[in-house]
Structure 1
Amino acid sequence: MGVDLVDITAKRAALTPARIAFEDALSGRTLTYAQLNDRASRAAGVLARFGVGREDRVAILCRNRIEYFEILFACAKLGAILAPLNWRSPAAELAPLLDDCTPKLLIFGAEDASCALALKRPDLAVLALDQNYEPLLSGAEPLITDLRWAADAIWTLMYTSGTTGVPKAVIQTVQMSLINHVHVTQAFGVQESTRSLNFLPLFHTAGIQLITLPTVIAGGTTIVLPGFDVERAIDIVPSLDVFFGVPAVYQQLALHPRFATSDFSRVRSWGCGGAPLPDALVETYAAKSVRVFNGYGLTETGPTAFVGDPTTPIGSVGKPQMLLEARLVDAQGEDVAVGEQGEFWLRGPGVTPGYWRRPEENARTLTRDGWLKTGDIGRQDANGHYYVAGRIKEMFISGGENVFPAEVENVLARHPAVLEAAVVGVADEKWGEVGHAFVALRPDAARPSDVELTQFCRANLAGYKTPRSFTFVEDFPRTAAGKIRKHLLVPEASARAR
């Protein structure tokens, strides 16, 4: 038996009707919890008019905006399932996702109208947020729905970013959101007085769960930006209580001319996830008396799984959160010793029940007793702190030794000229595989020679871990979470190695 959740907006409207739930960062428009519940209830009525009912899918293609959350809550009230689509993808990439989730309705924003209309099909109704939504909402009666949301009800289908292959939909249940709320509020101290910022893409789990939905459940205020804008963010962040971003966001803030003079003293909690946070960047913020806590989680874990705290060593992702079990296992599924590397297996009420219509993937990824095989490699130290080495699929073997790119990338990021690095393995006749590093330089930094970078790595890494070649780039292909899409770099690295 799972743990059901009350209708969040109805309960918040009863508890704190006049408190501000959302604020639009561009227009300044605000929405109280009473207004949020009224609009979400009316939105449920609008969806019902389109024939949307329990377990029907609603696809949405838009930038970050308050209306997105009205529709998210409307789906929960109806028992419908929201399927957010990646607005960075062309229609040709999104069409197979619609074939997969078969929505009854596609909702879209003005910025993505051309893509949405290219996806139109006879059995798919469309709703334009910037044309039809408000008139329909104003004419709709608030729909009276069940005030309890079933724990196992599917709330959203979150398509993975597809760093290594075709995206698949991770099932996100109501219970997963509740467990994530428990973990986030404990880790970051989210409460009724909290002000947070929403800017991470809403087609990614972090856009919803880190930390907007926990802020709403707690009764706090979320400021909504259409997307990350470093100029606006550098102005807004000092007014926040909690901030969560990915490493690329922290990097952009740190490079801003006003970073050094910005007063971040009000922000009591800083969280980071989505990709490894370089030690050098942690130290940049520490120089401003800001401790950024690295964490680890997946779409499949709702996502919050591990979060650091003041006792956590730099480089660690902390410890498993309250309602999560963790193991590190070898290739036979046996636990490894403390200090040894193994694959992360995770279990708990916040872990997904599986992938949408992917029974073979479910059988491969989830054990019969509920463990999620993450595909990530890490280790645990004697004090119970965990470290993530990288993805099993990214690991390469050089001269019989395992090399995890994240470790090499972390060292390269310490070079004064290097902003960010990505390392992939390429074939080598002598060693089997060797590393090839793609390097982005800091603004105005002089380009170091390959010999200089090699010597820098050799001073900090074993010889077999040191890249054999380097390519300098302006930026990297990335996922919505800021992760570098390394599989797109491999062909170029392989070609250069020939």
Structure 2
Amino acid sequence: MDFLTDIAARRAALTPDRTAFTDVKTGRSMTYRAFNNRAARAAQVLVESGVTAGSRVVILCRNRVEFFEILMACGKIGAILVPLNWRMPAAELTPLIADCGPALIIHGQEDRETALALAGEAGIAALDLDQPGGYPDRVAAAEPLAGRERWPSGETWYLIYTSGTTGQPKGVIQTYGMALVNYLNISQAIGLRDGDATLNFLPLFHTAGINLHTLPVLIAGGHVQVLPGFEAGAMLDLIETGGIDVFIGVPAIYRELSLHPRFESVDLSKVRHWACGGAPLPDTLVERFAARGPRVCNGFGMTETGPTAFLSDPEAATAKIGSVGKPQLFIDARIAKPDGALAGDEETGEIQFSGPGMTPGYWNRPEETKALFTDDGWLKSGDLGRRDADGYVYVVGRIKEMYISGGENVYPAEVENVLASHPAVFEAAVVGEPSEKWGETGCAHVELKPGQAATADELKTWCRTRLAAFKVPARFVFSDTLPRTAAGKVQKHLLPREGQA
């Protein structure tokens, strides 16, 4: 298929009176007819603000329905939406503004100061989502702009800047075709049904906030409940009332839910499908949720893959703990060894992808786009994995994170999983450090659970009974909080190594 239809307009025609969105905080709901009407009015406001086909529109906001109005508005006129990380200060966002060259900055009240500073520096207009005379009033007064009925598959819809776990963010191009392929991949993987409800709370400057599961649910004519951000209590309320059919979170979310006082009493069976991505889900959390009923399906994907690539099936969620499942319907995956040869069962190599849902590359980064792909066109993940005899894949760590101790390869994810199984440990991040004797040894940065205590010697003993000696970290550093991206991934490049301040 070489185009995507105008999702908002088509849904308004098919299911006009069905609820598209509910703002959990205010209780305000919106039908598909109203959603398309507002998106069409928002498109007119963009045009009046100087936005044309191909223009970039930066948005800085928390999770809210207006984000998706503007996303659809950009589709109607062929503009490119650029969600930026509101957790970053203006100084860090300035290079991204220079990179994407927007015609307009849209912002919420919480990010007004940052947005105005960026707009002033770049010499462009800013549009406030909350201020009288800003977006609300202008949308209310605008005439709906019908816009394009077909959105070409290969055209850029929005940019997602990578989270920067290894340094400077890059703008990953997201096309209309990628949205369609992701819908096909995730909907069949989770058994998405007509009218299903999901919760939108993961940050909108991350691919999961847009694509898992909000856009697929909108395409399916479902109901999206919107929370400004993660709130365990509000989430459990929605689960208890049957307001969520399909759910996805990152490991940090599952940890917080499991620690909530109401976790043991809420009926979790009302959610039909549970999924996890963004980082490895520790075995202990899989088991804790399974003891309450839900089988949390671990998955793996990238912003560059649209994102859905792997997802475990419920039957294997506990039988194959640690696996991210198998490649989904419209994506190919292979595991390649350093010499380019394909890895056999239980051999470790780089996970690589091919298929119609791959990004065409990075915005304004031709050399890095070229380096993203192999000579025969497969997208390189930078992640190491292995496949078992049944075809289930296990992610063992990032290529750049693997270290060699005494001539043996150490994959931090394996060590981190063992540490996470300790009753006192909330999360651990393991990095390699130089060692005169062994070449490199591990340093474990540990965040303990609230009210829990553990010593380095205790954790070292815990590891020794579960890991080979060369895998046991030589050093332990305890932190109140580990630096994380919005997706819950630990930013290992920010962790101090031996000899650093």
Normalised by the length of structure 1, the TM-score is: 0.97
Q: 1:253-264 to 2 correspondence within 5 Å?
A: 253-264=257-268
Selected match of 1:453 from 448, 454, 459: 459
- What SS class does the counterpart of residue 70 from structure 1 fall into? helix
Q: 2:301 matched to 1:302?
A: no
Contact persistence 1:426–1:494 (CA under 8 A): no
Which residue of structure 2 lines up, in the alignment, with residue 282 of structure 1? Answer: 286
Give the aligned CA root-mean-square deviation in angstroms: 1.1
Q: 1:22-171 to 2 correspondence within 5 Å?
A: 22-121=21-120, 123-131=123-131, 132-171=134-173
Runs of 4+ more than 4 Å apart:
none
Which residue of structure 1 lines up, in the alignment, with residue 429 of structure 2? Answer: 422
The structural deviation recorded for 1:290 is 0.9
Q: 1:240-251 to 2 correspondence within 5 Å?
A: 240-251=244-255
Distance 1:199 1:310 in 2: 23
Distance 1:237 1:181 in 2: 23
Contact persistence 2:58–2:104 (CA under 8 A): yes
| Alignment deviations for residues 330-364 of structure 1 (CA, whole Å, 9 cap, x no partner) | 11222111110000110001110100011110111
**Percent identity (aligned):** 57
The structural deviation recorded for 1:127 is 0.4
Count residues with an aligned counterpart. 493
Which residue of structure 2 lines up, in the alignment, with residue 330 of structure 1? Answer: 337
Larger mean Cα displacement after TM superposition, 434-443 or 40-49? 434-443
Distance 2:323 2:5 in 1: 35
Normalised by the length of structure 2, the TM-score is: 0.97
Contact persistence 2:299–2:312 (CA under 8 A): yes
Distance 2:457 2:81 in 1: 52
Distance 2:61 2:470 in 1: 46
Contact persistence 1:199–1:227 (CA under 8 A): yes
- What SS class does the counterpart of residue 63 from structure 2 fall into? coil
Distance 2:65 2:284 in 1: 35
Selected match of 1:436 from 410, 433, 443: 443
Q: 2:360 matched to 1:353?
A: yes
| Alignment deviations for residues 284-324 of structure 1 (CA, whole Å, 9 cap, x no partner) | 10110110000000000111100000332111000000010
Larger mean Cα displacement after TM superposition, 84-93 or 183-192? 183-192
Distance 2:268 2:137 in 1: 41
Distance 1:471 1:218 in 2: 47
Larger mean Cα displacement after TM superposition, 364-373 or 12-21? 364-373
- What SS class does the counterpart of residue 287 from structure 1 fall into? helix
Larger mean Cα displacement after TM superposition, 434-443 or 25-34? 434-443
Contact persistence 2:248–2:275 (CA under 8 A): yes
Which residue of structure 2 lines up, in the alignment, with residue 14 of structure 1? Answer: 13
Distance 1:78 1:366 in 2: 31
Which residue of structure 2 lines up, in the alignment, with residue 220 of structure 1? Answer: 222
- What SS class does the counterpart of residue 265 from structure 1 fall into? helix
Distance 1:387 1:242 in 2: 24
The one-letter amino acid of 1:260's match is: E
Contact persistence 1:159–1:170 (CA under 8 A): yes
Contact persistence 1:366–1:372 (CA under 8 A): yes
Distance 1:494 1:320 in 2: 42
- What SS class does the counterpart of residue 343 from structure 2 fall into? coil
Distance 1:54 1:461 in 2: 56
Flag the 1:368–1:81 CA change in 2: closer, same or farther, 3 A. Answer: farther
- What SS class does the counterpart of residue 311 from structure 1 fall into? helix
The structural deviation recorded for 1:103 is 0.3
- What SS class does the counterpart of residue 317 from structure 1 fall into? strand
Gaps spanning 5+ residues in structure 2: where? Answer: none
Which residue of structure 2 lines up, in the alignment, with residue 292 of structure 1? Answer: 296
Contact persistence 1:354–1:366 (CA under 8 A): no
Contact persistence 2:83–2:204 (CA under 8 A): yes
Contact persistence 1:324–1:347 (CA under 8 A): yes
Which residue of structure 2 lines up, in the alignment, with residue 384 of structure 1? Answer: 391
Distance 1:390 1:424 in 2: 11
The structural deviation recorded for 1:469 is 1.2
The one-letter amino acid of 2:482's match is: F
